[in-house]
Chain A
Amino acid sequence: MALNITIPAASLAVGAHTFGPGAIPAGLSHAMLTLDTTPYDALPGPTLDFKAELSQDSGVSFPITLATAKYVPPNGSLHGVQQHTTSFVVDLPGVSPAGNTWRIRATIIVSNQSYDPVNTGSLAVT
């Protein structure tokens, strides 16, 4: 069974915002963090740093940063198609074992506006 941590639509204040953690079921191998960066209004989209972090001690600490990325408006295009979704995909450090104490969380860091609109997003482990 996959794990899905929802990132709700919100206006995020400057600073770090954490979503999760969630327990990783056994037998999963990679994580995908996705954010819908479509602007709510005519304002420029947000500049965001985002990352997925992994704990192997039931969430006491998150020493493993699976990946980090920076989104800067405007959106890029893939094969000529304008994109409004920002994401990264990265493998877990091996397949999650049965009875594991792994936890995963997403962090979004807002740095350029007082409040940045972020549409829905998710951190999916499959």
Chain B
Amino acid sequence: MAIAHVAAWTAAQFNNVSTGTNTARASTTNNFMAVGVTINNNALFSSIATTSNTLTQRAPASGWQNTGGDSIRIYAAEGITGAASHTVTVNTSSNAFFVVCASEYSGLATSGAFDQIAGAGVSGAGTSFDSGATPTTTRANELLVGYGDQDAGGNGSFVAGASFNVRSSIGTAASGSTGALEDRIVSATGAYNGLMSSSGFTGPTGWDMLIATFADVALAASNTEFGSRTNIPNPHVGPMTLRQGWRQPPIYAVNLAPITDTNFGPPTRVPNNRVGPVVLRQFYRRPSLSFDTTNARSAATGTPVLCGGILNSAIVRSGGIVA
């Protein structure tokens, strides 16, 4: 099924409040939902929630895009659970000024759709927004979601960039923050820019622009390391435990050469005339043995043994008994 825009939620601007919920509309199960948020002070942002679904921040990768003044983010929910009365609610820790724009799409992967992002902003005059280019998209058929805001006074409007369509926007800067959500459906891989412009605002002082792309089929998991790297000491190649269900952690410094002649544990001195059982500390190496014969005596005569002993493989180097 081709990617298509279904409908947008009514854009809503909330001013000097701690909770805001937009106008409800019906949504369809397994569709895709994109949400753009602007807030005047991101330190006050607490949470965002939507009926029966979880929104995941997609752009920027972390934090906020806030070069131009107010802060913006793009959230998404893939494979949504539809609801007859579907809303988006933003909560803040103290009264704030924020905007919520959202739109619904069909034809996207119900999981693993998220692909690429880019973001940029300008502090100062300017009404042409450009997120910068994303890395090359993975799939030919993707949805590009752009979200931008204008820091300014007065009231204005937003104009979609080339090949984009604005689906939800608020331009009443005189009373609070602004924002506009736009989209573009592409059929070829490429590095795409989120483009938008504004008109009619008074004294623009900055803008921010984000783009996030989403694919029609689930993207393969990238070659991602899970957990920390662990060096396996030579020559102990022990059992390996997968930390994830489907990826084996990388293995470093594995030496499959034959086990070298290595002593395990320190030599152990055997007390005089008491050569008892010897326990190997490892399965395949015997510890070195040495006998202290300094005070040994003849069992027959009691005469001291002046020298003698056994060293390595029972070789008698020298010895004797003096009568």
Contacts and interface: CB of A to CB of B under 8 A. Distances in A.
Contacts of B111: none
In this complex, the interface size class of chain A, counting residues with CB under 8 Å from chain B, is: 20 to 34
B20 A67 contact: yes
The binding surface of chain B is classed by DSSP as: strand
Q: Which of B11, B14, B97 counts the most chain A CB atoms within 10 A?
A: B14
Contact of B21 (A64, A69, A74): A69
A62 interface: no
B40 A71 contact: no
10 contacts: A68-B19, A69-B20, A69-B21, A83-B15, A83-B95, A84-B16, A86-B17, A88-B12, A89-B175, A90-B11
In this complex, the interface size class of chain B, counting residues with CB under 8 Å from chain A, is: 20 to 34
B158 to A, nearest CB: 13
A73 B16 CA distance: 9
Nearest to A71: B17
Interface in B15-63: 15-24, 40-41, 44
B95 A75 contact: yes
A76 B96 contact: yes
Nearest to A68: B21
A47 to B, nearest CB: 9
B288 to A, nearest CB: 78
Contacts of A32: 172, 175
Contact of B17 (A78, A88, A90): A88
Nearest to A90: B12
B10 interface: yes
Contact of B16 (A64, A75, A79, A89): A75
A113 B176 CA distance: 28
A10 interface: no
Contact of A76 (B10, B20, B95): B95
B23 A90 contact: yes
Contacts of B22: 67, 90
Q: Which of A77, A78, A86 counts the most chain B CB atoms within 10 A?
A: A78
Q: Which of B11, B16, B44, B69 counts the most chain A CB atoms within 10 A?
A: B16
A91 B13 CA distance: 10
Contacts of B96: 76
A99 interface: no
Interface in B166-186: 170, 172, 175-176
A71 B97 CA distance: 11
